[in-house]
Structure 1
C-alpha cells in the first residue's frame, strides 16, 4: 500500500503551540511533555530499568582525562564530571541537554552550570527563524514551592536568558544592555538531538504506550495478590438457634443474628497474608454434618501472560537492549563472554549520544578563561564488564 493511502490522522508526538502570555513555544499541548514522559517511565519497572542502563552507558566511566574530570567549573564546587553525569541523564531521558555559562568582563567563560532540560522552553522564532532566548522555570507544572508558596507559572517567575553565542562582541553588548556584568544572566547552550531549535521526544516516546501498559500490569499483579480472595475453602455447618421472650411476651432476637453481614470475614480472607485459610459459614436449615467446600481462585496473571511478554520485549527493543532481554528470558546463557559482548555492543549504540556531549563540552571550553583541558580530549571512557577474579563463568 502506498504511503498516501495509509492512515492520515495519526497524531503528532508533540503538539507545539505558542503561549502568548509567556512568549514561549509550548513543549506539548499542556507544556508538560517532558514531565509527563518522565512520570510514565518512572512508573514502569521495565522502562525505568532500560532508561537507567541507557544513561549509565552514555556516562560510561566519565571523561578519559582524569585531571579535567576533577576540574571545578562553578562556585558550588561542581566538577566537570558532575556536570557530565547530569547531562548524560538528560540525554537519556529526553534526547537533549542544557548548560548555563557565565562570562567575565572580558567576554570569557568563567562558570558552567547544569540546567535540568525539563525546565527549559524555547521562545518563538523571530522573522529570521532565530530563537534568541531560552525560558527557564523551576517547575512548569506549578507544584514546586518556595517558603511554603507555590511558584506560579508567570513571566515574573520565568528567567529569559540569551542563547549561547560566545563571540566577545556579542557577549560584551549583552553585558552592556544588562547594565553591567553583575546584572548579566549569562547564556544557555540548549542542544537537541531532534535538530536545531526543535523539541526532542526522547527514546522512551516510541514505546510510551507499552510503558503505561507495563504499569497497569504491575497494578493488576498487586491487586491479584493483595486484594484477591485466597481461602482454601469454606466449612458449612448448621447454626443453632434459641428463642427468648421479654416480659411482655414478645420474641427477642439475638443481636448476632441480625449482624449477618460478611464484612469482617471478607477482610480476614483477602490478600497474600490470609491465603489458604478456611472460611466457616453457619446455616439454619438442613440438619446434617459439616461439609468442606473447596473454592476455586481466579488467577488473573495467566490472562495477561502474552501481553506482559510482548510489552517487555518492545521496551527492551526500543532501547536497543536485546542482549539483556535474551539473557532475561533465557534465550542465551549467562556468562562472562556473553556479557562482554553485550557491553561492547551497547557501547556502540550510545556512541552517538556520547559524541554529541563531547562536541558540546568542546564548544564551551574553547572559550574558557583558562586552559582547563590541555589535551582537548572530551571523550568518555566506556563501561566494561569486569569478571570476578577466580570465579568461573559457569558459577
Structure 2
C-alpha cells in the first residue's frame, strides 16, 4: 500500500498542544506522556530488565577522571558521579535530560542539581519560535503530597526557569530582572535526542503494546498458579459417609455437599487435594473421578516468546536474548563480545551527556577538570580471575 493510504493508521506518538492556563506545551494529549511510559516499563518484567541494562551501559563505570567524578557540585553533597547516574536513567527511559544550574553574583555557575526529566515541560514559543523557559512541577499528576496537601497543577505551583544560556551578560540581566541574586531561580539545561527543544519519544515507545502484553502474560501466569482449581480428583460418596480432604478436616455444609468453601481447593497452596461430594442415591462403594484442570500457560507460549523478542530487539539487546533462549552458549567470550557490542550502541547517549557536562563546567566558577576530559569509562565483562592458594599457586 502507498504511504498516503496508510496515513489513517499511523498516528503521532506524542500529541502536543498548548495549555493556555499554564502557558506551556503539553507532553502528550494528557500532559503525562513520560509518567505513563514510566509506569508501562515498570509493569513489564522484560521491559524493566532491558531499560535497566540500557541505563547501566550508558552510565558505564562513571567519568574517567576520578577527581572530577568525586567533585561535590551542590549544597546537598552530591558529586558529579551522583548526578551522572541519575541523568543516565532519564536518558535511557526518555532520551532526554534536565539539569538545574545556580549562578553566583558574577554570573558564574556555582551549583548543579538534577531535575527529573518527567517534571519538566516546555514553555510556549514566542513570535520568533524561541522557547525561553522550562516549567518545572514536582508531579504533573497532581497527586504528590506535601505538608498533608496535594500539590495541584496550578500556575502558582510551577517554577518557570530560564533555559540554559551561560553568557555572563545574559545571566546578569536575568539576575537584575529577578530583583537580585536572592530571587534568581537559575537556569535549566534541557536536552532532547529528538531535536532542539522537541519532546522526545521514549526508547520503549515503539514496543509499549508489547510491554503491556508482557504485563498481561505475567498476570495470566500468576492467576493460573494461584487462582486455578487444582484438585487431584473428586470422591463421590453415599449420603452420610464421612470422607474429608486429604490434609484438612473442615466443617461440612449439609446444603451444598462440599466439605468446605471452594477457596480451599483453589490455588497453588491447595493443589492436589481431593474434593468430596455426597449424593443421596444408593451406591455400593465410593467412586473416585480424576479431574484435569486447564493450564493456560500453554495457550500463550508463542505470544510470550514473540513479545519478549520484540522488547529485546527494540533495545538492541539481541545478544542477551540469544543467550537467554539458549541460541548461543554462555561463555566469557560471548559475554565479552556482547559487552563490546552494546557499548557501541550506547555511545550516542554517552556523547550527549558528555557534551552537557562540558558545557556546564566550561562556565564553572573554578577549574575542576583541567584535562577537559568528560568521557565515560565503558562497562567491561570481567572474567573470574584465578585465586592464589596458600602456597602461592593458582587454584
TM class, shorter-length: over 0.9
SS at the partner of 2:261? helix
Query: In 1, are the aligned partners of 2:237 and 2:285 still within 8 Å (CA)?
Result: yes
Q: Which runs of 5+ in 1 are unaligned?
A: 242-254
1:155 alignment counterpart: 155
1:114 CA drift (Å): 0.5
Deviation at 1:256, TM superposition (A): 6.8
TM-score by length of structure 1 reads 0.93
1-structure distance, mates of 2:363, 2:257: 78
Distance 1:331 1:163 in 2: 49
Q: How does 1:136-175 map to 2 (within 5 A)?
A: 136-175=136-175
- The match for 2:217 is 217
Q: Is the 8 A contact 2:252 2:260 kept in 1?
A: no
Distance between the aligned counterparts of 2:358 and 2:368, measured in 1?
Answer: 11
Shift of 1:258: 5.3
Residues 79-114 of structure 1: per-residue CA shift (max 9 Å, x gap): 010000000000001000000001111110000000
Contact 2:253 2:259 in 1 (8 A): no
**CA deviation string 1:332-368 (max 9, x = no partner):** 0000000000000000000000000001111111100
Aligned mates of 1:18, 1:257 — CA distance in 2: 64
Q: Distance in 2 between matches of 1:209 and 1:140?
A: 24
SS at match of 1:84: helix
Return the alpha-carbon distance in structure 2 between the equivalents of residues 107 and 264 of structure 1.
77
Question: Are 1:268 and 2:264 matched, yes or no?
Answer: yes
Q: Residue deviations 1:243-278, cap 9 Å, x none?
A: xxxxxxxxxxxx977532659331111001111111
Secondary structure, aligned partner of 1:281: strand
Match of 1:188 in 2: 188
Q: Give 1:15 deviation, angstroms.
A: 0.8
Query: Relative to 1, partners in 2 of residues 1:175 and 1:334: Cα closer, same or farther, differing over 3 Å?
Result: same
Matches within 5 A, 1:224-235: 224-235=224-235
Distance (whole Å) between structure 1 residues aligned to residue 277 and residue 204 of structure 2: 52
Q: Which runs of 4+ in 1 moved over 6 A?
A: none
- Of 369, 374, 379, which residue of structure 1 is paired with 2:375? 379
Look up the match of 2:122: 122
Task: Determine helix, strand or coil for the equivalent of 1:203.
Answer: coil
CA contact (8 A) 2:259 2:276 kept: no
- Residue aligned with 1:231, SS: coil
Residues 69 and 157 of structure 1: CA distance in aligned 2, closer, same or farther (over 3 Å): same
Report how many residues are paired.
378
Distance in structure 1 (CA, Å) of the matches to 2:329 and 2:253: 63
1:279 partner SS:
strand
Secondary structure of residue in 2 paired with 1:264: coil
Cα distance between partner residues in 1 of 2:30 and 2:145: 20
What is the CA RMSD across the aligned residues, in angstroms? Answer: 1.5
Give distance in 2, aligned partners of 1:80 and 1:184: 23
Q: Whole-Å Cα distance in 1 between the matches of residues 75 and 55 of structure 2?
A: 26
Where does residue 352 of structure 1 map in the other structure?
Answer: 348
What displacement does 1:7 show?
A: 4.3
TM-score where L is the length of structure 2: 0.93
Query: Structure 1: how far apart are the matches of 2:161 and 2:188?
Result: 7
* Closer, same or farther: CA 47–263 of 1 in aligned 2, 3 Å: farther
- In the TM superposition, what are the counterparts of 1:191-210 in structure 2 within 5 Å? 191-210=191-210
